[in-house]
Amino acid sequence: MLRELSIENLAVIESAVIPLESGFNAFTGETGAGKSILIHGIQAVLGQRTSKDLVRTGCKRATVTALFSPLSDETRAVLSEFHVSSEDDELLLTREISADGGSIGRVNGKSAPAALLRALGETLVNIHGQHDNQILLRPERHLDVLDQFGDDCSLLEEYRQEFHQLQACARTLTQLKKAEQDKLARLRELQETISEIGELDPQPQEDVLLESQFQSASRAEDTASLAETVVQMLIKGDENISDALALACDQLDRLADEDSEAEPLAERLRALNIELRDIADETAVFTGGQLSPAEFAKLNDRRNAVNTMTIRYHTDADGLRSIYDNALKEVEAIETDADRLTKLSQERSERLHRVTELAKKLTAHRQQLAEQFSRRVGEELAELNMPRVKLSVALTQGKLTPNGMDHAEFLISANPGEPPKPIAQIASGGELSRMMLALKAVLAERDSIPTLIFDEIDTGVSGKAAQKIGLKLRALSKHHQIICVTHLAQLATQATHHLLIEKHSTDTSTRTEVKVLDKAARIAEIARIMGGDDNSELLLQTAEEALVSAGSLNEP
């Protein structure tokens, strides 16, 4: 629960330390004294959106600090999720609002994001303002209220998980179907690529090899002619060098017979003739390198085919192989997607069936809840001086949504025998306030939020109806800490802890202070609420009697 609220430089509040107790805490004060500032301060410290306009004029920043103790299991779970310790069973939340528009949050003195403050706030405090009555006038919110009344949300959570999986499946299926036509065109393109490159069957670096072979083949005829001329000159011609050398060798042999000194020359000449014949034999190899016309034409056709394909795909022979392999993989992927499309369609049908069955169970569960809810709200309305008003829940079914297939609307019958109608058509402002309090009372039975704050829940009511609201708040305070901003004595007298909000103005400044009222001051404040500032003895006596009758002066 909220133990203490400390405020500095927040609007008209310069400085205030506000102690709060368990039970029913009432805030009263004249109109414009700054009661709403307290609510803004609590909202700020719980991570709600703030405005630099809240900073007191002339100040650099406003600070709101709230001390909570003891802590619920839900609050401890949030702290654990954000790795924040709470060993002393206390929680200190702080929000600093700068005049330049920025803000800083702290949890137990350490900087914390607003998200953590909001998450903690959802487990600590439930604030009801006048605008919350609009929930009753907006049928789209009624289903949430009914589900909140249920003490077991496991079925709804299971449904939502299945529904979100169905949505994901349906989205994927839609994307696949949308891409199907594009994929068919792409598939035809890929199959054409695979066919023409596969038919060509290019080999590694074949374009380079074919060009080299083509150039060699183009030069082969000239090479053979030149080689043949050399061979003719060396050994084959009519006047070839080899024959001339052989004749010269014979002459040297004859000379050597006459003069032995010529023998070495003859040997050298014979060796030269042998070397010449070796050269001729090796040169003769070049005379057989040319291709036949048919072979040359085949080589040229292959070269042209490979070059044409590399130009078309802007790559080389190795690139053609890579394009071919990638096309095969992409075709396989597209065919796999087709299989996936079939499987996904089947999966969607199965999920739709499961979601529909869960939605039916959810509907049956809500129909039971609606009966219990209507009965409990009726009992609360009777205690709030609205015994003839009956609330019913109209449940209708439509398409599947994240909340099921149900639409709920609260209907009321103001008098016996009258058909139920939408609340907006027949409820007054005061009736809305009491009906909202009835809902809060019913829902409070099912949640563990320790502190409930009511900002002028008594708007539009007076007399006996106001007294009934005060009694209901007193009853709620047995199980929840109640903080109520009110302007009615019927509510204030039921409080077990009474605080006064006073505004003091001078020619140059305005400030608001909050103080806890003792017995005498409380009697005076109740008298003021009842009859104005001129508290007569009779009015003071009436105020005291009202407090005694409520049992408020006797409570600690």
**378-433 pLDDT, tens per residue?**
998 888 888 888 999 999 999 999 999 999 999 988 888 888 888 878 777 777 88
Residue 297 φ then ψ, to 5°: -65, -40
Out of 315, 337, 359, pick the residue that ends a domain: 337
Note whether residue 447 is domain-resident. no
**pLDDT band at residue 269, thresholds of 50, 70 and 90?**
confident
pLDDT of residue 133: 67
Report, in this order, helix, strand and coil percent for the chain, each rounded to 5: 60, 20, 25
Looking at the structure, tell me whether residues 217 and 242 fall in a common domain.
yes
Looking at the structure, tell me whether residues 264 and 194 fall in a common domain.
yes
Q: Which two tokens stand for residue 2?
A: 């909220």
Looking at the structure, tell me whether residues 495 and 555 fall in a common domain.
no
Looking at the structure, tell me whether residues 194 and 68 fall in a common domain.
no
Within 13 Å, how many C-alpha atoms sit on residue 162's CB side?
Answer: 23
Range of the domain at 285: 180-337
Looking at the structure, tell me whether residues 541 and 483 fall in a common domain.
no
**pLDDT band at residue 68, thresholds of 50, 70 and 90?**
very high
3-state secondary structure of 94: strand
Q: Which two tokens stand for residue 70?
A: 């003891």
Q: Which residue has the tokens 């696949």?
A: 176
DSSP 409-473: EEEEESSTTPPPEEHHHH--HHHHHHHHHHHHHHHHTT----EEEEESTTTT--HHHHHHHHHHH
Looking at the structure, tell me whether residues 554 and 504 fall in a common domain.
no
Query: How many C-beta atoms lie closer than 10 Å to residue 58's C-beta?
Result: 8
Looking at the structure, tell me whether residues 506 and 539 fall in a common domain.
no
CATH number reported for the structural domain that contains residue 31 in this entry: 3.40.50.300
Query: How many C-beta atoms lie closer than 10 Å to residue 173's C-beta?
Result: 16
**pLDDT band at residue 129, thresholds of 50, 70 and 90?**
low
Looking at the structure, tell me whether residues 185 and 295 fall in a common domain.
yes
Looking at the structure, tell me whether residues 202 and 296 fall in a common domain.
yes
pLDDT at 298 over 90: no
Note whether residue 257 is domain-resident. yes
pLDDT of residue 106: 93
Distance of alpha carbon 359 from alpha carbon 142, whole angstroms: 17
pLDDT at 556 over 50: no
Note whether residue 354 is domain-resident. no
